[in-house]
Structure 1
Amino acid sequence: MDRFPDTRCSELPLHRLEVPLPHLLPFAIGTFDTIGPLSRAAFPHRHTFYEIVHVTGGSGAHVLDLVRRPVEPPQLCVITPGQVHHWDGAQGLTGHVVLFNEDFLLPHADDASALRALAGRPGHPAGDQAAPIAALLADMGGEYRELRPGYRNVLRASLHILITRAARTLGRTGGTTDASAAARDRASELAAAFGRLLCEPGGARRPVGWYARELGVSAGHFQTLVRRATGRTPGSLIRQQQTLEAKRLLAGTDMTVRQIAHLGRFSDPAYFCRFFRRETGMSPGEFRGRAGPNHHDPRIESIAGHPDGP
């Protein structure tokens, strides 16, 4: 019997991409069975890599950042680095699982924005893209297994097509994702880079000035561009991410409030509790009790129309 870490461990498990030759091909594709038990892990965990799942059969639910969505095949699930997810009561899952590092997106770097939009949902219908996506994944699986000449280029190109088709399930039309247009706009481009940094593990612990320096702009210009692209200040987006990270740890670990406050670089637990109540309307203890052993927030409705994340 496969053994998994305790679901309320002191810190959330962090999974790294383990493939035969990661320096040559930071990518893997297979079924739930060939990828292995961790592809349907029932305990909250996060990744350093991207995961695209096309579910074609089975039952249960997928929980992504505290939002629970029943398995309703054919269904797409996208998980980005730093997000916390697990499968709840999943049985008989079939379909394909695609795993890859950000390096594998370099030829189409703007695809990362489309993936973040898709990851705003714990799962959604594949719609009229279900058959094309299934056929594309089957072809990608063959390329991955057979390693024919040029397979790396084929897999990279196919991944770009897969992301484009997946983006169409969110109502985007044409052969180009919204991310392509965003890449031509400086404000949207910088805001997207800010979002990637912010979603890294520990990203929300950094001050606004650090992001401005990292992205090569002045603090004032950084504030202006982020507000222009998102309608929000960098500070408010950092607080949103801090709150989400605190929720992840409260729901998925047995860390104390003091430990979570320290990890989030709050000056003291009392200040963290005031911050959390201001952002959520409840204390950390109340939220943990509400999330319960199922590791999700029952206040968040999991419906087909669940809005995209930021």
Structure 2
Amino acid sequence: MSKSVAAAVPVFKLYGETGAWPTPDLIHCESIPERSKLHGWEIKPHRHSDLVQLLYVQAGQATLKVEDVVIYVDSPSLQVVPALSVHTFKFSEDIQGHVLSLAQPLAEQLGASLNTPVLSRAACYTVGAGQQYLDTLYAAITEEYVQSQSGRDPMLQSLITVLSVWLSRRNLERSSPDPRQLDRGREYLQRFTRTLETQFREHLPIEHYAATLGISAAHLNALCRRLSGQSALQMINQRLLLEAKRDLVYTTMTIHQVSDSLGFSEPAYFSRFFKRGTGLSPKQFRIQR
């Protein structure tokens, strides 16, 4: 994305809305035509600072762009759009499907309880033989969402947990090594991410993390690429970027203070790191919050 385009990307609660969240829920559910037909079947580039969206295309065609990845969809597919991801969609006029928006705290809670990052990474999943199951699940979520029966909130959360488990399983199916190797590799990756969570501000080399696991840096990198789609260094940098984005959006710390809190030796170095990862300077990013 060019600098001029990135600087113009708006931040919305829901597309086209700048007001408060429309319901007391941590969830919002609507059909794809419901909103897209109001905008000529095109959702222009924007991002959500505190929403994860699960867009389910049931029928029709769509061009889905999340960050720099463009996917043309002409069969049932489910697109994950993480918080802060710039995205744009174009739909055919016969489009059918749903958009489920989850407030970031709920998405993080689901990710932690299922021990999966599937809601924090952009991905498009072809539904295939699972269409009837997913149709039924989204129909149940939609029906529960529009009603106000007793137990509505726990029922909605249960249904969305089921959807998250479905996504997690589909994500695992994308690579199918020997189950014993997968379990061992996931154990290493989980230990790495737990250690990273407590030490990412220290800017430690990959060799340090590998040594704590008792494996080589090359082995750690291979595991990260196979199980998360990113190198170990990319995971470290993405964790730093995520924390920087949170600080810029949700705190009043100065850029110098954010840089300091994240362990950067100089604010200028932090600004270069941030711009390299997002295409925006910290100041530009904060203005667009």
Task: State yes or no: 1:230 paired with 2:224.
Answer: yes
Cα 1:38–1:155 shift into 2, 3 Å: farther
User: Per the alignment, in what secondary structure is the counterpart of residue 14 of structure 1?
Assistant: coil
- Relative to 1, partners in 2 of residues 1:62 and 1:39: Cα closer, same or farther, differing over 3 Å? farther
User: What are the superposed Cα offsets for residues 240-274 of structure 1, whole Å, 9 maximum, x if unpaired?
Assistant: 8999xxxxxxxxxxxxxxxxxx897129x9xx7xx
Q: CA RMSD in A?
A: 4.5
Superposed CA deviations along residues 18-41 of structure 1, whole A, max 9, x for unmatched, are 53344xx21111201335657965
**Mapping of residues 209-224 of structure 1, within 5 Å:** 210=201, 220=208, 224=212
Q: Does the 8 Å CA contact 1:35/1:97 hold for their aligned counterparts?
A: no
Change (3 A) 1:233 1:169: closer
Which among 57, 70, 92 is matched to residue 94 of structure 2? 92
Alignment partner of 2:272: what SS?
coil
Aligned residue in 1 for 2:10: 13
Query: Is the CA contact 1:62–1:87 (under 8 Å) kept in the aligned structure 2?
Result: yes
- How many angstroms apart in 1 are the aligned matches of 2:269 and 2:62? 33
1:127 Cα offset (Å): 1.2
Aligned counterpart, 1:146:
147
1:43-122 aligned at under 5 Å gives the runs: 43-47=44-48, 48-88=50-90, 90-105=92-107, 106=109, 109-111=112-114, 112-116=116-120, 119=122, 121=123
SS of the equivalent of 1:55 reads strand
| 1:1-310 to 2 correspondences below 5 Å | 8=5, 10-16=7-13, 18-22=20-24, 25-35=25-35, 37=38, 41-47=42-48, 48-88=50-90, 90-105=92-107, 106=109, 109-111=112-114, 112-116=116-120, 119=122, 121=123, 123-170=124-171, 172=173, 185=187, 187-188=189-190, 191=193, 210=201, 220=208, 224=212, 228=220, 230=224, 235-237=233-235, 265-266=271-272
Identical columns (%): 17
* Higher share in helix: 2
For structure 2, list consecutive stretches of 5 or more residues without a partner in the other structure. 15-19, 242-267, 280-289
> For residues 148 and 30 of structure 1, do their structure 2 counterparts lie closer, same or farther at Cα, with a shift above 3 Å needed?
same
Q: Which amino acid aligns with 2:119?
A: L
Over 3 Å counting, the alpha-carbon distance change for 1:134 and 1:222 in structure 2 is same
Name the counterpart of 1:302: none
Tell me the amino acid that sits aligned with residue 28 of structure 1.
H
Distance in 1 (CA, whole Å) between partners of 2:95 and 2:187 is: 41
Is the Cα–Cα contact under 8 Å of residues 43 and 87 in structure 1 kept in the other structure?
yes
Q: Structure 1 residues 236, 186: CA separation in 2 closer, same or farther (over 3 Å shift)?
A: closer
Corresponding residue SS for 1:266 = helix
Shift of 1:222: 8.9
Within 1, Cα distance between the matches of 2:139 and 2:118?
22
1:83, 1:153 → 2: CA distance?
28
**Corresponding position of 2:259:** none
**Contact 1:19–1:27 under 8 Å retained in 2:** no
Q: Supply the distance in 2 between the matched residues of 1:12 and 1:93 (Cα, whole angstroms).
A: 25
Could you state the TM-score of these two structures normalised by the residue count of structure 1?
0.55
The count of corresponding residues between Structure 1 and Structure 2 is 220
Alpha-carbon shift at residue 83 of structure 1 (Å): 1.9
Deviation (angstroms), 1:88: 3.7
Deviation digits for residues 182-205 of structure 1 (CA, Å, limit 9, x no counterpart): 9x947515527959x9xxxxxxxx
Over 3 Å counting, the alpha-carbon distance change for 1:236 and 1:51 in structure 2 is closer
